[in-house]
Amino acid sequence: MVEKIRLIVEYDPGVTKGQIMEQLKIGSGSVLEILHNKLKMHWVCHRIVPHFLTQEQKQHRVDICRQNLDMIRKGGNRSPSTIITGDETYVHFYDTPTHREAKIWIYEDDTPPDIVKKERTVRKLCYAVFFRSTGLVAAVKLEGQKTVTAKWYSEVCLPRVFEKVSNDRPNTGLRNIILHHDNARPHSAGVTAQYLKDMKVRIMPRPPTVQTLSPAISGCSTN
């Protein structure tokens, strides 16, 4: 029975205790006794990471974070409220996978493997969501097109966001506002940069985007 369970787990590390019980027609206690005490295995979750980074990329991110922290410290107590963070995100028509679905059986001397978190190709909506220390600023839905473009971002999305900010800060408007977004093509395009310059909105320093680090991983802002 020990050998049977060992073969089952090695063939499918994600097999559950209940599935082993059903397949071999044995009780829960027997399965756990064999897994934990005989095979010296335990039930762990994959360490889910957004993408894999080189040491140089990790150090660059640390340097950017230190630069931003220094900027915030110099800005005083009100500095965080002037930073608007935004990015595109998908809203799926299903519940996202849980950590339970990522658990597998490993031997006690093994290290939990890493897996890259990926999105399923099912129906979904794309929103550009912006917030600051005081709460949500705006959630702009992408409509009439499949991907975020620089034209949509600079002519539709950002104007709505800045309008909300100006309404929330009637005395100061966009003065001292800092935009924190990544280096996706719509965000770093010339038309976007010119629009932000015209609006006198500064950009917060940021590390490379996921697309830059790993071309195989893509988000909704692909153009």
Q: Could you tell me which of 176, 65, 202, 82 has the C-alpha nearest to residue 132?
A: 82
Specify the pTM. 0.56
Residues 6+ away with beta carbon under 8 Å from 212: 183
Q: In the Cβ-directed half-sphere of 73, how many Cα atoms lie within 13 Å?
A: 6
Residue 121 backbone dihedrals phi, psi, to 5 degrees: -85, 75
Is residue 6's pLDDT more than 80?
yes
SS (H, E, C) the chain: CHHHHHHHHHHCCCCCHHHHHHHHCCCHHHHHHHHHHHCCEEEEECEEECCCCCHHHHHHHHHHHHHHHHHHHHHCCCHHHHEEEEEEEEEECCCCCCHHHHEEEEECCCCCCEEECCCCCCCEEEEEEEEECCEEEEEEECCCCCCCCHHHHHHHHHHHHHHHHHHHCCCCCCCCCEEECCCCHHHHCHHHHHHHHHHCCEECCCCCCHHHHCCCCCCCCCC
Summarize the confidence of residues 44-72 as an average pLDDT.
Answer: 80
Give tens-digit pLDDT for 137-191. 999 999 888 889 999 999 999 999 999 999 988 888 898 899 999 888 899 999 9
Measured in whole angstroms, how far is the alpha carbon of residue 22 from the centre of its chain? Answer: 37
Give tens-digit pLDDT for 14-54. 889 999 999 999 999 999 999 999 999 988 876 666 667 78
Is residue 217's pLDDT more than 50?
no
For residues 145 and 126, the model is more confident at: 126
C-alpha distances out from residue 45 to 6, 14, 26, 101, 115, Å: 19, 10, 25, 8, 10
Using alpha carbons only, give the angle 189, 191, 196 rounded to the nearest 5 degrees. Answer: 95
Distance CA 36, CA 102 (A): 19
Residue with tokens 């992408």: 142
DSSP β-bridge partners for residue 44: 104
